[in-house]
Amino acid sequence: MTDAPAARLAAFLEQLEDARRARDVTLIVVSKRHPAALVRELAAAGHRDFGESRHPESREKAEALADLGLTWHFVGQLQRNKARQVARYADVLHSIDSPALVDALEGGEERPQRDALVQVNLTDDPGRGGVAPAELESLAERVAGSSALRLRGVMAVAPLGEEPGRAFERLAHHAARVRAIEPAADWISAGMSADWREALEHGATHLRIGTAITGNRPADG
């Protein structure tokens, strides 16, 4: 991992080209904790889709780079009291996990409907992000009927301590449940640096790749 991020991006895109088997896949480079300059460097190399997970760090970057017209994906947990603020700069919200969050996003008509994914909790721990699978349909229906959001599909993080392919297989099943409600909601946001090949095998349409492209993240602080 000594190469420049732009070189790692090119190398990753080459691997993705081999692995995606002619399917359309959107690569989201997760730039959390990295400076805006790194995003600018990857944008200069032609990349458009970036992921962030913490407000207001994400807002600062989106504002600093507003001249580039990038597509911003918010992939972190969305707090209700900050959700409207996030929806001002984020183009895609990957982590819709409760009806109360949808309520919080409504009423702000300052932008068109945001693309939204329902995050599914693939663990048995209710403290983890995402809606419990048993509540997926009702939440998806709520999003589909929302004036603030456009339901595009599902998102998940593979649980630690489980073979990721097995978890992504369950996610593919949950994705089908959502498509039964809204056939156009066919996005599956899954796969990070360590497990993107397994995610791709199970139908991922959006990969969220951080360290494999950006290098290690600066220490939290």
Shortest reach from residue 178's CB to ligand PLP, in Å: 18
- Site residues for ligand PLP, 25-44, by CB under 6 A, read 30, 32
The two beta strands, 26-30 and 49-52, are parallel
Shortest reach from residue 114's CB to ligand PLP, in Å: 17
Give the Cα separation of 28 and 90 in Å (integer).
13
- Taking CB under 6 A as the rule, does residue 76 contact ligand PLP? yes
Shortest reach from residue 142's CB to ligand PLP, in Å: 22
DSSP reduced 3-state for 97: coil
Interface residue with ligand PLP among 8, 27, 31, 53 (CB under 6 A) is 53
Interface residue with ligand PLP among 5, 153, 164, 210 (CB under 6 A) is 210
Residue at token pair 């489980």: 162
> Is the Cβ of residue 76 or residue 153 nearer to ligand PLP in the bound state?
76
| Other residues' Cβ atoms within 10 Å of the Cβ of residue 34 | 23
Q: Which two tokens stand for residue 93?
A: 């919200």
Residues at the interface with ligand PLP (CB under 6 A): 30, 32, 53, 75-76, 157, 192-194, 208-212
